[in-house]
Structure 1
Amino acid sequence: MGTMKPSPSKQAQVWNVYDAQCPTRLVLNRIADKWTVLVVSSLEGGTKRFSTLRREIGGVSQKMLTQTLRGLERDGLVTRTIYPSVPPKVEYSLTPLGRTLVSLLDAIRVWSETHIEEVLKAQTMYDSTDTSSLSSNRVAEGL
């Protein structure tokens, strides 16, 4: 009997985020979300309860935090642990896959905090520009 060779049909899937039908777009949408950045950054420090996350992440509604945590759990980035008590105790933590995002998302957070003054200045300059010339430029650009 000879040795078996891997089947040529078992090639690695090639993903392309620029393809409109590629499922990587769903992941990109998840990790580019501001609430995801803040939840992952908050959970970097360890396991937390829902109320702690809500307190730490200013401005997030209960509904939005719930949706974000469910999406992160579905994508395998967060683990939800329920303890049988009255009332039930629920804790959230990053999975090993979720931990791979920490440095990437932290870099985005730091960039935002570092460059906000430049962005605000650019926005002020843009907003004070004559809007009629902007409109004609946008038409010319096909926007």
Structure 2
Amino acid sequence: ASHAEGTPGQAVAKAASAATPLAAAGGANHGARAMPGNALPPYPEAAREDGLEGLVRLAVEVDAQGRVSAVRWDARSGVMLLDIAARDAVRLWRFEPARQDGQAVASTVRVALQFRLDAPVGWVAQADTR
């Protein structure tokens, strides 16, 4: 997304992909990593108008080609509009697949999306290989 940073309710990444134990170890093993340019969810207008905020945590299954094969909620925000916006956006994301012994493998990535009225939508991705 190409929104101005700092504009409330806009979808702008505030944090990059977080290092994981596998990624930090380097070498031929690492967790899946979100690709640059993945679109963050827009802040739902009705939620913004009602002053609703929340943190949505998702478990994202990523196949060996880096495509999202399934998304489920780890923890909902308590605001259905935010939960759905987060899930729908992440379904379209692409990832560099996890690698084990140099081979691309399917994995599960944990993604947290923060919706705050006074800040851009921010995200952090963390990978757990399976």
More helix by share: 1
Q: Determine which structure has more spread, i.e. the larger CA radius of gyration.
A: 1
Q: Which one has a larger percent strand, Structure 1 or Structure 2?
A: 2
Q: TM-score, structure 1 length as denominator?
A: 0.23
